[in-house]
Amino acid sequence: MGEKQKSTLKVEYGYNLFIYLKKTKMKYIIFFLALLINFNLLSQRTYQNISKIEGIKSLTEFKEFLSIPNDGKDKQEIYRNIDWAKSRLSKLGFDNKLLETSFLPLLVSEKIVNPELPTIGFYMHLDGQSVDLSKWDQESPWIPVLKKKIDGNWEEVEWSLIPSKLDNELRIFARSSSDDKGPFLMFLTALRILDKINQKPKFNLKVILDFEEETSSPGLPEAVDKYQQELMADMLLILDGPGHFSGKPTLVFGNRGISSITLTTFGPITPQHSGHYGNYIPNPALRLTKVLSSMKSDDGKVLIPGFYDGIFLDNKTKKILNRIPSEDQAIKYRTKINSVDKVGENYQESIQYPSLNIRGLKSGWVGDQTRTIIPSEATAEIDIRLVLESDPKKLINSVKEHIKLQGYTVLDYPPSDEQRLKYEKIIQMNYKISYSAFRTPVDSKEGKWLEKILKKTYNEIPVLIRTQGGSVPISPFVNKLGIPAVGVPTVNLDNNQHSPNENLRLGNYFQGIETFISILIESYK
């Protein structure tokens, strides 16, 4: 940076901070001055401390939003969240439009800074997974609680602790705190900070809010077909998901897609006494487990012919993967496992391939309900994570053909009495293709722009993830509208999303605000 640029930067930052301080209450000024000790105003992290101050102030609003239940299966709850989001975006100068679908609508909010500038879309979702109230270590998942780890346990503390003794390790426990209301509040707070210091975003904004992401966004493909103009943008940023375990700033260039299969095997028409009929009537649970075990080797590789077709990790790809700090040992330690599947040479390689996972099994009764019976049926729920090279229909058909080779008659409906008597082995197979994978090249224009921003903001090279293992339902944007998409994850990896005691680390909340400010003030060309 030349001396003239430094001078201009100093004047700009100095003026903006002066304006900000004029608008900030005295107690926050004192807090701000304390944080400025040994802080270089010319550094690219000038907005770090503003992010903390405004982040603290925004927690009241965050708590209010988290207090609105958002089960994606409850339309009434979802519409309360839609109204809340609309009102906040309207106050920031956004024009809101509900895009109706056969399911729940999408909310698209647009702010034109300058018609001549490009438009960047920001995708988030505001629905949450259902909760098991008995598993939460607090009164309610919708009454946000602040906790601190003391002697290995999370203990509730008063919210008033934050301004007086800032601790980045404090956590907010509530449903959707990290997935995905937290990033939405980070984004709103970043926009408000820019307003306070008289800064405008350097591009037009289009916020796309999904309210059924946790139910696979069934209305999204329809919306993309019907509202192409309303959804079009020059690029799409996905504000969802956790960052890398290292805590370093992270960019995600792709996500796996997902499809699911339900398999049911059949035994006697009703459960039968295992003493009378054991050794005589075949057990459907045993038959199902044999089918499932035939699908994978002991080292975790899928044995179904053609499952990995089209996937080749060349030297360029391996180089990208090898630049990601290894998390293999951290995963083993966190999950308390001794060994891992051998689909790839390491974790990052493993998620470049489609996966076949048994996510649930059911047959008979267990625990206190155990009965000495031969069950009448057994069911397995399977998910298949897709990569860009995967053809979901081809993969599902390969599973079907594999089952046939095990001697089964495959139906997509429960068998009739006649079919039960006619066929030796019957399995019912139903499937659903939710959405495909997407991937934007790491060395794309969009990737280089974001990498430059994060490197400048945090003075370190961000972690660049080619493909993340989880799924985000935005492939229609990328694959049909041709919009390049990159994920900007901000929440802590150990956030318990979808599970009891979901949480968001305060340090991640403040850093997320800073990240979004840094993006909003950088020209996209």
pLDDT, residue 5, reads: 36
Number of neighbouring beta carbons within 10 Å of residue 177: 30
Pairing assessment for the beta strands 426-435 and 171-173 based on DSSP bridges: unpaired
Q: How many whole angstroms separate alpha carbon 369 and alpha carbon 376?
A: 16
CA-CA distance, 452 to 103, in Å (whole number)? 39
DSSP 336-388: T-S----SSSSHHHHTTS-EEEEEEEE-S--GGG--SEE-SEEEEEEEEEE-T
At 435 the pLDDT is: 87
User: Looking at residue 29, what is its pLDDT?
Assistant: 55
Domain layout of the chain by residue ranges: 43-253+439-520, 257-311+353-435
pLDDT for the residue numbered 47: 75
Return the CATH fold of 257-311+353-435: Alpha-Beta Plaits (3.30.70)
How many whole angstroms separate alpha carbon 393 and alpha carbon 404? 17
Which candidate, 66, 64, 58, places its Cα nearest to that of 187? 58
pLDDT tens across the length of the chain (525 residues): 444 433 433 444 444 555 555 555 555 555 555 444 433 433 445 678 889 999 999 999 999 999 999 998 999 999 999 999 999 999 999 999 999 999 999 999 999 999 999 999 999 999 999 999 999 999 999 999 999 999 999 999 999 988 877 899 999 999 999 999 999 999 999 999 999 999 999 999 999 999 999 988 999 999 999 999 999 999 999 999 999 989 999 999 999 999 999 999 999 999 999 999 999 999 999 999 999 999 999 999 999 999 999 999 999 999 999 999 999 999 999 899 999 999 999 999 999 999 999 999 999 999 999 999 999 999 999 999 999 999 999 999 999 999 999 999 999 999 999 999 999 999 999 999 988 999 999 999 999 999 999 999 999 999 999 999 888 888 888 888 999 999 999 999 999 999 999 999 999 999 999 999 999 999 997
Residues whose CB falls within 8 Å of the CB of residue 239, separated by 6 or more in sequence, listed in order: 122, 123, 124, 180, 183, 184, 186, 187, 487, 488, 490, 516
The pLDDT score that the predictor gives to residue 478 is 87
Joined tokens for residue 484? 């390049």
Confidence at residue 432, expressed as pLDDT on a 0 to 100 scale? 94
Please state which of the four CATH numbers 3.40.50.170, 3.40.50.300, 3.40.630.10, 3.40.640.10 is assigned to the domain occupying 43-253+439-520.
3.40.630.10
Work out the number of other CB atoms within 10 angstroms of the CB of residue 221.
Answer: 17
The secondary structure of residue 6, as a DSSP letter, is H
Q: What angle do CA 149, 154, 156 make, to 5 degrees?
A: 105
